[in-house]
Amino acid sequence: MDSEKAVQILDEKGITRAITRIAHEILEKNKGPQDIVIIGIKTRGIPLAKRIALKIKEFENYEIPVGELDITLYRDDLTKEQIDPVVNGSSISCDINNKIVVLVDDVLYTGRTARAALDALVDIGRPSVIQLAVLVDRGHRELPIRADYVGKNTPTSKNEIVRVKLSETDEENLVVIEAT
């Protein structure tokens, strides 16, 4: 851990256990893997989405399509001057119309990223249901958003930061809370 003030809340095994549980819960809630599309929100939602899909493949021998969503253009704090039409890193090659879309992100905090993701999704298609899976719910919602699947509920104070590190993006797997 880099910072002396950091407190580890999940190690590599804990992250894997949380992903395994979320994969089981997704299958249970939706009565199997049919018609599910998993979409990761940039940045760390994408590797988490792929890990969940891989678990479902292990359990059910069923390949769930995985997409990538860039919510940058849908942020509610984006000013007109910041809007750059070339910023669109979304990559969703499968049809999401009438599908069960499971959005995946690493941290749920104010809910503003999840809200932006909903806007981005409805511009792409009309899923039958949209669900939300997060590795960590740290509270402090500013919008009426809740997650359907939560790896770990972690009460935090507003002057803390939850930092998720994944081997795909950060070369290690852990979640820490840091004081700012």
Ligand X SMILES: O=P(O)(O)OC[C@H]1O[C@H](OP(=O)(O)OP(=O)(O)O)[C@H](O)[C@@H]1O
Q: Which residues are at the interface with ligand URA (CB under 6 A)? A: 106-107, 109, 138, 161-162
> Which of ligand URA, ligand X, none is residue 112 near (CB under 5 to 8 Å by kind)?
ligand X
| Contacting range for ligand X; rule: CB under 6 A; set: 36-44, 62-70, 89-97, 120-128 | 36-44
Residue 78: which H helix or E strand, with range?
Answer: none
Binding mask 88-127 for ligand X (x = CB under 6 A): -----------------xxxxxxxxx--------------
Residue carrying the six token digits 């009460």: 155
Q: Cβ of 80: how many Cβ atoms within 10 Å?
A: 5
Phi-psi region of 73 (alpha: psi -120 to 50; beta: other; left: phi over 0): alpha
Q: What per-residue string of b and e applies to 14-35 under the rule 16 or more CB within 10 Å gives b?
A: bbeebbbebbeebbeeeeebee
DSSP characters over 13-42: HHHHHHHHHHHHHHHHHTTSSTTEEEEEET
> Which of ligand X, ligand URA, none is residue 43 near (CB under 5 to 8 Å by kind)?
ligand X
> Which of ligand URA, ligand X, none is residue 149 near (CB under 5 to 8 Å by kind)?
none
Q: Does 15 bind ligand X (CB under 6 A)?
A: no
Residue carrying the six token digits 């590797």: 47
> Which of ligand X, ligand URA, none is residue 55 near (CB under 5 to 8 Å by kind)?
none
Q: Does 150 bind ligand X (CB under 6 A)?
A: no
Nearer to ligand URA, 64 or 147 (CB): 147
Please classify residue 42 by burial: count the beta carbons closer than 10 Å to its beta carbon, then call 0-12 exposed, 13-18 middle and 19+ buried. Answer: middle
Nearer to ligand X, 49 or 107 (CB): 107
Q: Does 72 bind ligand X (CB under 6 A)?
A: no
Name the residue among 129, 57, 47, 42 with its Cα closest to residue 91.
Answer: 42
Nearer to ligand URA, 44 or 99 (CB): 44
> Which of ligand X, ligand URA, none is residue 154 near (CB under 5 to 8 Å by kind)?
none
Cα–Cα distance, 15 to 10 (Å, whole number): 6
Residues in touch with ligand X (CB under 6 A): 41-44, 105-113
